[in-house]
Structures are given as structure tokens and as C-alpha cells.
């Protein structure tokens, strides 16, 4: 899938008004885009069930039905209530004039269609659906057929990803004009299925300023000259690995090597490790009471760090260094309780990247818990990035990468294969490696998140499912994914 902009709902409405002012019939264009999608993905003359709601999303569906009948598809059209918008009323009149039969109730006993086209509700839905609508959506979900949602699965909040009582569980979503973050994050990732953007040939000059985009960061800056050496690709120092948690620091260090850093130091709080047998390239420098951190281009603090007094002192020392800094895990938990350290992070001039999961983000924002973050992920990620003057990676389905100015990217690679201990440490090391090679903080974090997801996608494709990818087995896949992107494959 190509990238694409994300507009706020208000900006999207302004775009629709501007398009109408220029004489563009977006409803017809959306309908033709839907019909073309069906033509590409369904056998000729396969039976379709078109579900049309009372608003403009229903108008899209009715116009798509007209186009699909001309292409030879047998149709059953369901519109449970009368149209409520002028555009939908006009679409229904055209459908009836063309001889299409429109049912008010879902017929019982009929064989399931080859494809259900969902145009019941669009992206403006932000209220819970009533019992009758919830019952209909649940019945449609039980139909044994593929399901295509137009713009957004009906019943899903397109911006938070939260179902409004019930939502169509689509296999595919064809969204219009811009991407919507709720199709990729939280529960919305499971309801939307595979998402495709149709920009409807709307002129770029009509688009208002985007608030974000799908995560497709540039990679060209990582291309390597033959005339280079290890010093050309920067150095990373990983600080963490308290007793009992040494593996976290090892994973981050190995990941930094796999991500292309020229040199990687490992500074464990557990001083019993003289060398990493699996990656002897790691230069182990135990962080004892008197030790200074090694001089490095990038510091990654937090994997297995713990919260003891030494951990706090090392974190303070890292924050004071005028180099890019990646903070994860217990470094974030320490910031949540040491507000003085959080204030120092916000004052840093060098780039800082924070990589919280939802529970860590809730602690940093002093909210009730992860559920509060998950209920509306985008504003929380943006608030955290602004408050700490940092690039924030809010991990989870549809990971968000937010800049301090509020602009963000939504990631669509990866899935449940990455839901295993240690993968956060892998991501931390990878971000640090990309920073060491000269990417700015936003692009380094974005590319690391995308590569991490692509490594998971590769595993799932090769193994027929998401189960069994250990964090330690992810590193070679990171290198392959990065090399493929550089080669344009």
C-alpha cells in the first residue's frame, strides 16, 4: 500500500466542500472507485449484497450498485431506512428509475453473496448505534462471505478505532480522499481488514494541511558508499541490563548491530557479562557505581534498566549528554515518577525519542491506565510528544510516531507476531542505530517501526501464521527488510 495523508475530520469536511465548489462529484467518483475495486477482486457476474444507509455513505453504495449492475453482477440491495441526505435521496431515485429493487429488510434463507458491500454509515459516526442497527450489523457479520467497507466499516469510529456498540468486520476497506487513523489502530485494525486509499483524483491544491500520514519514511539517506568504514555509520551505547534483566540490553545491542550501527557498546548494570557469545562484536562496558558512560553518537537507555538508585543516576547522566537519546521501558517509568527528570528531557536540545507502550504512556501523562490511552490514541501521543519535546512512538496496533509539533505517522506493518517479550528492546536498538547513521529523530523512529513490522510480516508469510517469532530471531529479518527497502524491492 502506498502512503497517503491523514486529515482531521474537520479538514476532510472542508476538502469535500471545496471539491463540491469546484464541481467535482465525489459521490460518483467514490462509487466508481468501489465498482472498480469489485471488478479487480471478484469474479465476473458474482452475486453481491449492497447495504446502503441513509446518508452519503449510502449514496456511495447505491451509485456503486448502479455501476456494478451494468458490469453484470446480480444484486441484492438493502436500505433499512429511507434516505436522510439530499445526495442519498437522489441516488435512490436513480436506482429505482434504473429498475433496481431495494429491500428494507435482510432477506432470510437466501444463499450468501460472494461479497457484501457495506455502505451503511460513514466516517462521521461518533455515537453508539441503537439496538436495531446493532442487531443488523451482527447478522451481516455472520454471513459467510467476504466484506468490503466503503470509507470505514459501519459502526466504527474512524478516528479512534472504537466500535460504537457493533461494527462491520470487514475483510477490506476502501477509504476515500485520505487515511483515517482508526482503521489501523486499536480494535479498528481488526474491523477494517486490508485498507486501500482511493483519492478520487481530487486535485492536490484543494487539500488542506494534513495532520499526519501513513508511515512511509524515506530510506535513501541510508544508502552506503563503497568507500566507507565503521566510523561512517555511528556508534550506539545501550544502558540497561540490571541483574535478572540482562537479556533486554543484549537484545537492544544486537538489534543496533543488525540495524547498521558501526559500533555498539553495551553498558549493563549486571557486571557479570564479559562478552556476548552470540554477538561478540558488542563491546561490553559494565556500568558500575563510578563508571562514566562510553562516548557514543547515540544513547539508548532503559532496556532492563531497573529503578534502583544507580539506574536513576545513569539516566540523569544520559539526559545531560548532548547526543540523540532513545528512552524505553524503565527509563520511562523513572520519568513518570521523577518529574524533575521529565522536565530535563523537555529542555534537551539534542533529539529525544520515547517508545512507550500504552501503560507507560498513561503513567507519563498521569492518566488512569492503558485503557484511557487506547480509547483515543492519537491525541494522547501528540500530547506526550509536545509535553516532553520528543518524538514519541506509541506502540501497539497501528503504532503512532508523533513529533512535538503534533504531526504524526500511523504504521500499518506488523501484527500479533510481535506481541512477545523483548520486541520493544529490539525496536529501541533499531531506532538508535538509525539515529547513529544520521537520520533525524522522526524519520529514524518511523523507519524503525516500519522495519520492525515488516520483519513480522515476513515471519507470518513464511510460517503461515503469527505464532512463534522470538525477539532474538527478529534481528536478521530487520537487516533483510532494510536492504530490500534500499534496493526498492
Could you give the 3-state DSSP secondary structure of residue 442? helix
Per-residue pLDDT tens digits for 155-199: 999 999 999 999 999 999 999 999 999 999 999 999 999 999 999
> What tens digit of pLDDT does each residue of 290-328 get?
567 889 999 999 999 999 999 999 999 999 999 999 999
Contact between residue 283 and residue 237 where contact means Cβ atoms under 8 Å apart: no
- Beta strands of 172-315 (E only): which ranges? 172-176, 194-198, 212-214, 235-240, 263-268, 283-284, 298-301
pLDDT score, position 273: 86
Do 396 and 358 form a contact (C-beta atoms < 8 A)? yes
Given CA atoms 379, 381, 385, 387 in this order, what sign does their dihedral have? Answer: positive
pLDDT in the model for residue 290: 55
pLDDT of residue 126: 72
Compute the average pLDDT of residues 111-135. 92
Q: Domain 5-210: which topology?
A: Rossmann fold (3.40.50)
Per-residue pLDDT band for 108 (boundaries 50, 70, 90) equals confident
**Which of the four pLDDT bands, split at 50, 70 and 90, describes residue 5?**
very high
Write down how long the chain is.
489
Whether 426 has a pLDDT exceeding 80, the answer reads yes
The region of weakest confidence among 74-88, 90-104, 111-125, 286-300 is 286-300
Residue reference for cell 491506565: 369
Computed from CA positions of residues 3, 6, 11, 17, in that sequence, does the dihedral angle turn out positive or negative? positive
The position carrying cell 527478529 is 474
CATH 3.40.50.10260 location in the chain: 5-210
Second-level CATH architecture of 220-487? 3-Layer(aba) Sandwich (3.40)
Of the chain, the percentage scoring pLDDT greater than 90 comes to 94
Q: What are residue 207's phi and psi, to 5 degrees?
A: -75, 130
**Which stretches of 79-194 are DSSP H helices?**
86-97, 131-142, 188-192
Domain(s) labelled CATH 3.40.1190.20 in the chain stretch across: 220-487
Amino acid at each position: 500500500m502506498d502512503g497517503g495523508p491523514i486529515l482531521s475530520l474537520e479538514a476532510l469536511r472542508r476538502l469535500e466542500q471545496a471539491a463540491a465548489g469546484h464541481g467535482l462529484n465525489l459521490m460518483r467518483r467514490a462509487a466508481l472507485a468501489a465498482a472498480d475495486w469489485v471488478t479487480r477482486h471478484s469474479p465476473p457476474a458474482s452475486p453481491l449484497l449492497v447495504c446502503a444507509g441513509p446518508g452519503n455513505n449510502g449514496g456511495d453504495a447505491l451509485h456503486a450498485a448502479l455501476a456494478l449492475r451494468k458490469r453484470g453482477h446480480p444484486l441484492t440491495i438493502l436500505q433499512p431506512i429511507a434516505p436522510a441526505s439530499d445526495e442519498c435521496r437522489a441516488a435512490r431515485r436513480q436506482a429505482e428509475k434504473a429498475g433496481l429493487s431495494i429491500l428494507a429488510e435482510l432477506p432470510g434463507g437466501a444463499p450468501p453473496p460472494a461479497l457484501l458491500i457495506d455502505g451503511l454509515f460513514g466516517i462521521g459516526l461518533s455515537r453508539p448505534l441503537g439496538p436495531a442497527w446493532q442487531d443488523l450489523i451482527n447478522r451481516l457479520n455472520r454471513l459467510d462471505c467476504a466484506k468490503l467497507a466503503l470509507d470505514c466499516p459501519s459502526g466504527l469510529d474512524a478516528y479512534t478505532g472504537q466500535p460504537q456498540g457493533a461494527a462491520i468486520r470487514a475483510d477490506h476497506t476502501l477509504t476515500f480522499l485520505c487515511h483515517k487513523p482508526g482503521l489501523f489502530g486499536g480494535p479498528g485494525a481488526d474491523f477494517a481488514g486490508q485498507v486501500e486509499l482511493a483519492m478520487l483524483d481530487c486535485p492536490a491544491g484543494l487539500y488542506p494541511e494534513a495532520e499526519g500520514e501513513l508511515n512511509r519514511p524515506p530510506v535513501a539517506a541510508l544508502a552506503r558508499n563503497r568507500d566507507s568504514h565503521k566510523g561512517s555509520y555511528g556508534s550506539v551505547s545501550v544502558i540497561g541490563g540490571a541483574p535478572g534483566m540482562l537479556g533486554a540490553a543484549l537484545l537492544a545491542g544486537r538489534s543496533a548491530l543488525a540495524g547498521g550501527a558501526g559500533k555498539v557498546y553495551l553498558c549493563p548494570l549486571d557486571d557479570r557479562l564479559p562478552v556476548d557469545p552470540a554477538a561478540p562484536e558488542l563491546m561490553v562496558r559494565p556500568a558500575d557505581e563510578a563508571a562514566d558512560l562510553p562516548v557514543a553518537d547515540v544513547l539508548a537507555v532503559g532496556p532492563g534498566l531497573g529503578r534502583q538508585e544507580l539506574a536513576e543516576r545513569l539516566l540523569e547522566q544520559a539526559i545531560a549528554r548532548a547526543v540523540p537519546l532513545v528512552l524505553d521501558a524503565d527509563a520511562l517509568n523513572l520519568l513518570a515518577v521523577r518529574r524533575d527528570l521529565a522536565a530535563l528531557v523537555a529542555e534537551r536540545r539534542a533529539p529525544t525519542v520515547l517508545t512507550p507502550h500504552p501503560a507507560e504512556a498513561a503513567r507519563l501523562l498521569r492518566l488512569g491506565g492503558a485503557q484511557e490511552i487506547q480509547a483515543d490514541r492519537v491525541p494522547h501521543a501528540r500530547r506526550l510528544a509536545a509535553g516532553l519535546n520528543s518524538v514519541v512512538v506509541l506502540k501497539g496496533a497501528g503504532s503512532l510516531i508523533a513529533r512535538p509539533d503534533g504531526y504524526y505517522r500511523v504504521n500499518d506493518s506488523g501484527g500479533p507476531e510481535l506481541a512477545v517479550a523483548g520486541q520493544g528492546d529490539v525496536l529501541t536498538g533499531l531506532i538508535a542505530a538509525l539515529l547513529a547513521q544520521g537520520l533525524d529523530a522522526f524519520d529514524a523512529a518511523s523507519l524503525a517501526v516500519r522495519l520492525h513490522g515488516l520483519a513480522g510480516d515476513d515471519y507470518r508469510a513464511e510460517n503461515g501464521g503469527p505464532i512463534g517469532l522470538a525477539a532474538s530471531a527478529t534481528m536478521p529479518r530487520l537487516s533483510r527488510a532494510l536492504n530490500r527497502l534500499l534496493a526498492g524491492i
